[in-house]
Amino acid sequence: MVRILGNIVGAVFAGVLLLAFGGTVKDYFSEPPLPSVSEEFHLEPEHLALSSDGPFGKYDKAQLQRGLQIYHEVCSGCHSLNRVAFRDLKDLGYNEAQVKNFAAQFEVPDVNPDTGEPALRKALPSDYFPSPYANETAARAANNNAVPPDLSLITKSREGGASYVHALLTGYRDPKTYKNEKGEPLPKEGMPASATLHFNPYFANLNLAMPAPLNSDGQVTYAPGNPKPTVNQMASDISAFLVWTAEPKLENRHRAGIAVLIFLIIATALGYLSYQNVWAEAKRKVAPVGPLDPENKAKRTRATAKARD
Ligand code: HEC
């Protein structure tokens, strides 16, 4: 009796679940969920071609130097680069003295050896790029409660890497006149919710707390012999630089990869040749001759059969 009751209750439960599921599926197809504003207006970054791309890629040192200049003159006001030491800049083609002079333009927290009080001192080549803020609270206070992320690994931590950084820096648009690929204007939900947010379709939720840091051609002055500092050029240069900060040893990795590939190709060829050598005896075909040759055997059988007839 109890078992029958239990079965009935179970069947009712399963039935209700099935009905609810059926209803949900029906609703999903009759009224599909509307795409969100950020889905409709978000753009994927266009590919940024850099000399470091591909298995044979090498850094363009002049471009990295320009990127360092952009970081120093524009981004370092808000963003730290705390995985990069000043001495690493030797990879960009600077000598000891240049690195020392460059480091001396930054101040890092230290302790006053006489009083034991916290103090600032000029950075040394062995120091890491310091944060412009004392701590996260200070960073938030200066940026309307948003924290500018450390840029050392940003090209590894964002989908699209350098292409994304380039697209983000060149992607600021006027939300009032912006139209997406279908020609639709931005609805109210997509507009910046406050004056401290800035519309950028490459940013995941369309509005970010960083005002366009590169906003006019010629914002920095490049040394003679370099391309014109257009916004696009500056954005490419800082993106290339941030690829380097995220992976300063990329060229070594490429070199090692190619050496390993060549080694594997040679090892495969040697392995194949020695395999042939080792199995040469065993695989040799032994053709029976004389009375054991199957053809001769058949002939013989036929001859005996004939003789018997
Ligand atoms: C006035 C301060 C300021 C300056 C100058 C500045 N940034 Fe930012 N940046 C911010 C803030 C604040 C955020 C966080 C934005 C947010 O999360 O809404 C940010 C975020 C970013 C992000 C991360 C976006 C993401 O996907 O989360 C990147 C990349 C970036 N900045 C690159 C740069 C580069 C490159 C420069 C120099 C050309 C630069 N920024 C200059 C304040 C600044």
Candidate from 38, 79, 198, 219 with most ligand 1 atoms within 8 A of CB, to mutate: 79
Domain containing residue 199: CATH number: 1.10.760.10
Considering the domain architecture, whether residues 144 and 214 belong to the same structural domain is answered as: yes
Distance separating alpha carbons of residues 205 and 106, to the nearest angstrom: 34
Ligand 1 atom with the smallest distance to the CA of 168 is 29
DSSP conformational letter for 6: H
The answer to whether residue 254 is domain-embedded is: no
Considering the domain architecture, whether residues 75 and 197 belong to the same structural domain is answered as: yes
- In the prediction, which pLDDT does 118 show? 93
Residue having the nearest C-alpha atom to atom 1 of ligand 1: 78
- Measured in Å, residue 43 CA sits from the centre of ligand 1 at 18
Per-residue pLDDT reduced to its tens digit, 68-95: 999 999 999 999 999 999 999 999 999 9
The answer to whether residue 306 is domain-embedded is: no
Contacts of 92 (CB under 8 A, 6+ apart): 61, 64, 65, 68, 244
- In the prediction, which pLDDT does 192 show? 94
Cα dist. 213→149, 177, 278 in Å? Answer: 14, 21, 67
Burial classification of residue 23, based on how many CB atoms lie within 10 Å of its CB (0-12 exposed, 13-18 middle, 19 or more buried): exposed
Residue having the nearest C-alpha atom to atom 38 of ligand 1: 75
- Domain span at residue 26 reads 2-33
The answer to whether residue 135 is domain-embedded is: yes
- In the prediction, which pLDDT does 292 show? 85
**Residue 252 in tokens:** 């070594």
Considering the domain architecture, whether residues 75 and 187 belong to the same structural domain is answered as: yes
> Which of 248, 267, 285 is the last residue in one of the domains?
248
- Measured in Å, residue 78 CA sits from the centre of ligand 1 at 7
- Measured in Å, residue 169 CA sits from the centre of ligand 1 at 9
**Residue 237 in tokens:** 């240069």
- Measured in Å, residue 67 CA sits from the centre of ligand 1 at 15
**Residue 209 in tokens:** 């707390």
pTM confidence score = 0.84
Considering the domain architecture, whether residues 60 and 199 belong to the same structural domain is answered as: yes
The answer to whether residue 206 is domain-embedded is: yes
The answer to whether residue 222 is domain-embedded is: yes
Cα dist. 303→156, 297, 300 in Å? Answer: 84, 10, 5
Contacts of 124 (CB under 8 A, 6+ apart): 86, 100, 103
Cα dist. 158→32, 95, 113, 151, 153 in Å? Answer: 30, 32, 41, 11, 9
Considering the domain architecture, whether residues 27 and 72 belong to the same structural domain is answered as: no
Residue having the nearest C-alpha atom to atom 37 of ligand 1: 75
- In the prediction, which pLDDT does 153 show? 98
- Measured in Å, residue 257 CA sits from the centre of ligand 1 at 34
Candidate from 145, 210, 230, 231 with most ligand 1 atoms within 8 A of CB, to mutate: 210
What is the CA angle 62-66-72, rounded to 5?
Answer: 145
How many domains is the chain built from?
Answer: 2
Number of helical H runs and strand E runs in the chain: 10, 6
Considering the domain architecture, whether residues 6 and 63 belong to the same structural domain is answered as: no
Candidate from 42, 72, 78, 154 with most ligand 1 atoms within 8 A of CB, to mutate: 78
Considering the domain architecture, whether residues 166 and 230 belong to the same structural domain is answered as: yes
Considering the domain architecture, whether residues 23 and 69 belong to the same structural domain is answered as: no
The answer to whether residue 181 is domain-embedded is: yes
> Which of 248, 264, 293 is the last residue in one of the domains?
248
Residue having the nearest C-alpha atom to atom 29 of ligand 1: 165
Contacts of 59 (CB under 8 A, 6+ apart): 51, 52, 91, 240, 244, 250, 251
- In the prediction, which pLDDT does 286 show? 76
Considering the domain architecture, whether residues 29 and 136 belong to the same structural domain is answered as: no
- Measured in Å, residue 28 CA sits from the centre of ligand 1 at 39
> Which of 227, 248, 269 is the last residue in one of the domains?
248
Per-residue pLDDT reduced to its tens digit, 225-258: 999 999 999 999 999 999 999 999 999 999 999 9
Q: Report yes or no: 102 and 86 within 8 Å, Cβ to Cβ.
A: yes
Residues having CB closer than 6 A to ligand 1 are 70, 74-75, 77-79, 143, 146, 148-149, 154, 158, 165, 168-169, 208-210, 213-214, 238
- In the prediction, which pLDDT does 262 show? 97
- In the prediction, which pLDDT does 287 show? 80
Considering the domain architecture, whether residues 26 and 51 belong to the same structural domain is answered as: no
Q: Cα-flanking dihedrals φ and ψ of residue 224, to 5°?
A: -55, 150
Considering the domain architecture, whether residues 28 and 139 belong to the same structural domain is answered as: no
The answer to whether residue 283 is domain-embedded is: no
- In the prediction, which pLDDT does 283 show? 78
Ligand 1 atom with the smallest distance to the CA of 144 is 12
- Measured in Å, residue 79 CA sits from the centre of ligand 1 at 7
The answer to whether residue 48 is domain-embedded is: yes
Residue having the nearest C-alpha atom to atom 24 of ligand 1: 203
- In the prediction, which pLDDT does 75 show? 97
Considering the domain architecture, whether residues 181 and 69 belong to the same structural domain is answered as: yes
Exposure b/e, 290-303, CB count within 10 A at least 16 = b = eeeeeeeeeeeeee
- Residue ranges in the chain modelled with pLDDT below 50: none
